């Protein structure tokens, strides 16, 4: 966790993010900045679908794409839409600790039996679902994955400012991730 940068005051927001939608997200969520009124989104947030995370920000401030592990590889059309049609110029990619997409292989049995028992799937279909999709969504480490996904997105969208962030479930705060 020594790769996380806490934001406990406006002065702790790095200069490149200060007075941008990324900085505003940090102020709204971590610093309880009073909400302003927005008619159009200023930011795209990519974050995990995990139910333990909730962002404190005003209505209409952000587009949000929630997907396992904050993996936007299979949501790229939605990212492009938010940029081209929604006119956002900033992305906050937010991973989190205790992510269920880490070490998916250890959840194989539970995943398969859950689809059989709770969804009524046949064993073969449940096994196929896991074997075909788990490799696409498996992440080994949430911080490393967030950094690699930010790097990929920056190459794909070079004019967009993209910030790697990490949400700690224990304190419900956003942290910036140190980049080497």
Sign for the pseudo-dihedral over CA of 123, 119, 101, 164: positive
Each residue's pLDDT expressed in tens, for the chain with a length of 180 residues: 589 999 999 999 999 999 999 999 999 999 999 999 999 999 999 999 988 889 999 999 999 999 999 999 999 999 999 999 999 999 999 999 988 999 999 999 999 999 999 999 999 999 999 999 999 999 989 999 999 999 999 999 999 999 999 999 999 999 999 998
**Domain 4-100+140-177 has what CATH class?**
alpha beta
Domain-wise residue ranges, the chain: 4-100+140-177, 103-138
Q: What is the pTM of this model?
A: 0.94
């Amino acid at each position: 966790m020594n790769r996380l940068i806490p934001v406990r005051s406006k002065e702790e927001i790095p200069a490149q993010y200060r007075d941008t939608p990324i900085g505003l997200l940090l102020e709204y969520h971590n610093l309880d900045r009073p909400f302003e009124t927005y008619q159009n989104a200023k930011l795209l947030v990519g974050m995990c679908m995990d139910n333990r995370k909730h962002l404190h920000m005003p209505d209409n401030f952000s587009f949000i794409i929630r997907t396992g592990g904050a993996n936007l590889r299979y949501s790229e059309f939605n990212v492009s839409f938010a940029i081209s049609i929604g006119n956002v110029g900033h992305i906050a990619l937010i991973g989190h600790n205790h992510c269920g997409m880490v070490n998916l292989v250890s959840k194989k049995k539970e995943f398969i039996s859950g689809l059989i028992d709770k969804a009524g799937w046949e064993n073969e279909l449940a096994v196929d679902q896991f074997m075909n999709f788990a490799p696409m969504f498996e992440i080994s480490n949430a911080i490393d994955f967030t950094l690699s996904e930010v790097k990929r997105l920056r190459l794909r969208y070079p004019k967009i400012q993209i910030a790697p962030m990490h949400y700690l479930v224990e304190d419900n705060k956003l942290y910036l991730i140190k980049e080497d």
